[in-house]
Amino acid sequence: MPPAKVLLIDDDRDFRTSLRAVLEARGYEVIEAESGKEGLKKIVEHHPSLIVVDIMMECCTEGYSVTQAIKFQRQYEAFRNIPIIMVSSIQESPDELFPMASEVDMIRPDTYLTKPVDIDKFVEVVERAVAA
Amino acid sequence: MTTEQSERELAGVGCQAPAEQAPPKIIVIDDDSAICLACRKILLKEGYQVQAYEDGLRGLEAITTWKPDLVVVDLKMPGIGGMEVLSRVHEFDPHIIIVVITGYATIDTAVQAMKCGAYDFLPKPFAPDPLRLIVRRGLEHRRLVIESRRHEMERELIKRRFVSFISHQLQSPLAAVHQYLEVLRHLEDSPETAAKRREWLERCLKRIAELEELIRDWLTLAKAEERVLVAQRYPIDLRPILQGILNSYEQMAAAEGIRLEARLPEQECLVWGNRHCLNVLFDNLIVNAIKYNRPGGRVSVSAQPLGDGQVAVAVSDTGVGIPEKYRRFLFEEFFRIPRQEGEAKPGTGLGLAICRKIVTEMGGSIEVESEVGVGTTFYVRLLAPPETAEGRRARLEQTA
């Protein structure tokens, strides 16, 4: 079986580098994108098994926009069920960031992790998501 | 989110243009139907929206549903009296202006109403003019109160966004370094890891250096804001300062094939300033001119006393230029021009904010001219030192 593909979307190259090392050490194939736009392009190109996306990139909710596009835009219909892990250096939960409950429901990621991510937890979440 | 939106977000929060103002709304409550009608007529003529009620309870209902700006209410009515209306209206909205009409014009009742939050009172019988005047003043008062509350809220919002933005700027590099260290600790020792270890450590050091730069810049800005930096001013010759900065960047420029030129006057070029501030100011401008230049480009720096108590300095480059739509945000804290992928340059986004602060505090000005693809010039005006008595005497003797 070919290794599962993980797409890392983050404008911080150091996060991509360190998380890539963790994932590759566990046999995953890693694809990187440094913006939401590039990420959406690579989803179509590579059809990853899992997406890890940073919330704050060029603008402070770019990660949410990416998630929203995948879940709701017609052109990404084929990718709607790919699990999404959202990461951010903000210590708040998405519910606090976006108090409008309906909006959060709409764009709620499958998992939310805070940077720097705990490696054991990250690996556990990734494995669970890919297996699902 | 569109780029335009994020630009605005980074450049601080712009105030929303006030919506087209509807005429103010006024409710008149008086059991005397003649007064009700008269007030309504007078106030309608003034261009206000007016509703009149002869019954306190119905008046109160209208206040909670129609939400007027001002209420004119008779103190003495059967059923619900003016005092009760007063307290119940202010429970609903403490910023509604209330003018009480008092039939028995004793100072006591008026004072009591004012104590309960009435804005002013009208003793019966009253002529149209005092009514118009009090209503106009009351509405003006309400406008000022609302405006100052809005400013307060806007300031609060800007402050909150600033705090969340700066914490993100500080947290990102720390989190990146932390992440590398976690990974280094976690990964099994292997030849691949060993090869990467050095590269990762280099990246950690670089991120820490960036963080230090950000903290240093932020402190400089804070000090400039507190006027600590520019409090002490002396006559300072600009020439060695500019030449010194240019010399220190010669290598950096040469690496990109960029030529550095200085056109400085033969005589002293004195400004009234602080050496450290002037160094920070021109260091920022010159580094930008090198950083945002093209390979093989040119940076030129000129200084010229203008003879009217001012000194003009220009720093120009032959670089990428600044699109017009970004120019108004250029001197804002943390504003950075969105660049194409791969073209982004390191920086804190505070350099030009510091420049503007320093120049302004020294009594000067800074402006930018730019053409995309051709280059950018920053024009700085600084004050020459105030003339001393001796200098003045010498000048007069010379001309005499």
**A90 vs chain B: nearest CA distance in angstroms?**
7
B200/A18 Cβ within 8 A: yes
What does the pLDDT read at residue B400? Answer: 65
What does the pLDDT read at residue B315? Answer: 97
Which band of pLDDT confidence, cut at 50, 70 and 90, is reported for residue A47?
A: very high
What does the pLDDT read at residue A8? Answer: 96
What does the pLDDT read at residue B340? Answer: 64
Q: Which residue of A has its CA nearest to B341?
A: A34
Question: Could you say which residues of chain B have pLDDT below 70?
Answer: 1-20, 104-106, 158, 160-161, 229, 340-344, 389, 391, 395, 399-400
What does the pLDDT read at residue A42? Answer: 96
Which of residues A39 and B191 earns the better pLDDT score?
A: A39
What phi and psi values does residue B338 have, to the nearest 5 degrees? Answer: -60, 125
What does the pLDDT read at residue B6? Answer: 41
Closest Cβ–Cβ partner in B1, B6, B183 for A21: B183
Three-state DSSP string of B223-284: HHHCCCCCCCCEEEEHHHHHHHHHHHCHHHHHHCCCEEEEECCCCCCEEEECHHHHHHHHHH
| Look-up of token digits 């990964």 | B187
**B238 vs chain A: nearest CA distance in angstroms?**
39
> Following DSSP, what letter does each residue of B358-385 receive, concatenated?
HHHHTT-EEEEEEETTTEEEEEEEEEPP
**A120 vs chain B: nearest CA distance in angstroms?**
9
What does the pLDDT read at residue B19? Answer: 44
**Cα–Cα distance, A51 to A45 (Å, whole number):** 13
B175/A116 Cβ within 8 A: yes
Q: How many CB pairs under 8 A join A and B?
A: 70
What does the pLDDT read at residue B4? Answer: 42
What does the pLDDT read at residue B261? Answer: 95
Which of residues B326 and A39 earns the better pLDDT score?
A: A39
Which band of pLDDT confidence, cut at 50, 70 and 90, is reported for residue A90?
A: low
A17/B171 Cβ within 8 A: no
Residues of A in contact with B165 (CB under 8 A): 60
Query: Which residues have C-beta within 8 Å of that of residue A98, sequence separation ≥ 6?
Result: A64, A104, A107
A15/B179 Cβ within 8 A: yes
Report field, pTM of the whole predicted structure over 0.90: no
Q: What is the mean pLDDT of chain A?
A: 84
B161 in contact with A at a CB cutoff of 8 Å? no
B 204-223: CB under 8 A from A = 207
Encode pLDDT of A48-62 as tens digits: 999 999 987 766 667
